[in-house]
């Protein structure tokens, strides 16, 4: 069912452990690279498809979008909006949420 679904969907996406547990296990990263939750177990499952620890969202140049976990969910969601609805819609939504405009002083403004 996973393989069949991916053939009919222009974009497939997964976050946290799913890029490794689902996509890598079922061969859905064909030609694409990705990220996952940075536990050795999951990184090893991705093998040479793993982009690296510095990336939080990957696959922006392909039809496979992956992200590392809950802390990147907003960025992940916006990237999916960009893929499915275009960059203008992504910018509109990000702007309406003040995404990227303000940083917490605790994060080193």
In the chain, domain spans: 2-100
Give the pTM: 0.80
pLDDT digits (tens, 9 = 90+) for 46-75: 999 999 888 888 877 788 899 999 999 999
pLDDT digits (tens, 9 = 90+) for 10-49: 889 999 999 999 999 999 888 889 999 999 999 999 999 9
CATH number, span 2-100: 3.40.50.880
Our answer to whether residue 16 is catalytic in this structure is yes
Q: Catalytic residue among 12, 13, 14, 16, which?
A: 16
3-state secondary structure the chain: CHHHHHHHCCCEEEECCHHHHHHHCCCCCCCCCECCCCCHHHHHHHHHHECCCCCCEECCCCCEEEECCHHHHHHHHHHHHHHHHCHHHHHHHHHHCCCCCCCCHHHCC
């Amino acid at each position: 069912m996973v393989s069949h679904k991916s053939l009919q969907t222009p974009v497939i996406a997964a976050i946290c452990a799913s890029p490794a547990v689902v996509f890598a296990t079922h061969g859905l990263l064909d030609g694409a690279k990705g990220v996952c939750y940075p536990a050795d177990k999951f990184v090893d499952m991705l093998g040479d498809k793993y982009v690296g620890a510095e990336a939080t969202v990957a696959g922006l140049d392909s039809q496979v979008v992956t992200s590392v976990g809950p802390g990147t969910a907003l960025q992940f969601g916006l990237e999916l909006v960009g893929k499915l609805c275009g960059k203008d819609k992504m910018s509109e939504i990000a702007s309406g949420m003040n995404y990227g405009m303000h940083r917490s002083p605790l994060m080193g403004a």
